[in-house]
């Protein structure tokens, strides 16, 4: 692997689980000398992938987009929509199993457990697998929503994230809940409590639809508008 690729891989793998980092935290002495790191780090800054705020560096909108498309293992960037599955766990009194994200993009947002569909895997298989891996629980899953979500930069209007998501409702849940994994922290909360916290705003519309037992499968188009990792507004419509 070329030195530039090794440095880039190392820097962005650190930002997967951090919102901001100092220069000293980004330089890996095992990979290169300080002079080599300075040279390639300046190239990353010139590409506007990072923003300097005081002593710290954070991901720019372009950096948010880059890290969501990046295969950290192969260090290749692939411009294509992500295909993901999510599973909302539900138990008595309409308590929902929610996850607070630990990594970028949208670190610290409350979300629904899920992840990318693997090659040869159905979206339902993915939802059940991700739910088991991230929460330790098993359940029955029913498809409720297919949502295409496109996130735009507020200022430039460039697309910074594109995802097609399959949302399942999980019931008859069994097992022992894992409180935290590298993906995030898991918690049972009420829908009212969820609406009071940092979250993906479109879920305010999506969650009631998932929980509506009379609702057939909906197809939605969601357009989000983000600035430096913070979603400022969104539009949602039937697709």
**Rounded Cα gap, residues 188 and 192, in angstroms:** 12
pLDDT (average), residues 98-116:
89
Mean of the per-residue pLDDT values for the chain? 89
Q: For residue 18, what are its two tokens?
A: 């951090």
The β-bridge partners of 188 are: 97
- Other Cβ atoms less than 10 A from the Cβ of 72: the count is 13
pLDDT > 70: percent of the chain: 95
Q: For residue 89, what are its two tokens?
A: 């766990």
Model confidence pLDDT, tens digit, residues 128-187: 999 999 999 999 999 999 999 999 999 999 998 899 999 999 999 999 999 999 989 999
Closest-CA residue to 228 (of 10, 7, 9, 20): 20
CA distances to 16, 18, 54 from 102, rounded to whole Å, are 8, 8, 23
User: φ, ψ for residue 167 (rounded to 5)?
Assistant: -110, 120
Per-residue pLDDT for 72 more than 60? no
Domains defined along the chain, listed by start? 3-77 (1.10.10.10), 82-238 (3.90.79.10)
Higher-pLDDT residue of 9, 213: 9
Q: What is the pLDDT of residue 75?
A: 47
Closest-CA residue to 161 (of 149, 170, 172, 173): 149
**Rounded Cα gap, residues 92 and 94, in angstroms:** 5
pLDDT (average), residues 206-223:
87
pLDDT > 90: percent of the chain: 55
Q: What is the pLDDT of residue 78?
A: 58
Does the pTM surpass 0.85? The reply is no
User: φ, ψ for residue 5 (rounded to 5)?
Assistant: -65, -40
């Amino acid at each position: 692997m070329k030195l530039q690729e090794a440095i880039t891989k190392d820097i962005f793998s650190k930002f997967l689980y951090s919102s901001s980092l100092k220069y000293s935290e980004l330089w890996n002495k095992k990979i290169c000398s300080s002079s080599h790191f300075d040279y390639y780090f300046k190239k990353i800054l010139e590409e506007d992938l990072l923003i300097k705020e005081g002593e710290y560096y954070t991901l720019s909108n372009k950096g948010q987009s880059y890290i969501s498309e990046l295969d950290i293992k192969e260090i290749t960037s692939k411009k294509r929509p992500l295909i993901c599955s999510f599973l909302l766990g539900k138990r008595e009194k309409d308590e929902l199993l929610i996850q607070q994200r630990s990594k970028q993009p949208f670190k610290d947002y409350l979300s629904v457990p899920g992840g990318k569909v693997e090659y040869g895997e159905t979206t339902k298989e993915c939802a059940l697998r991700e739910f088991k891996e991230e929460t330790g629980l098993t359940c029955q899953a029913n498809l409720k929503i297919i949502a295409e979500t496109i996130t735009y930069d507020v200022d430039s209007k460039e697309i910074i994230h594109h995802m097609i998501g399959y949302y399942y409702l999980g019931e008859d849940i069994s097992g022992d809940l894992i409180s935290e994994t590298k993906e995030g922290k898991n918690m049972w909360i009420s829908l009212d409590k969820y609406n009071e916290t940092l979250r993906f705003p479109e879920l305010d519309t999506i969650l009631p639809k998932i929980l509506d037992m009379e609702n057939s499968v909906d197809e939605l188009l969601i357009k989000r508008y983000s600035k430096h990792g913070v979603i400022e507004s969104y539009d949602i419509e039937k697709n």
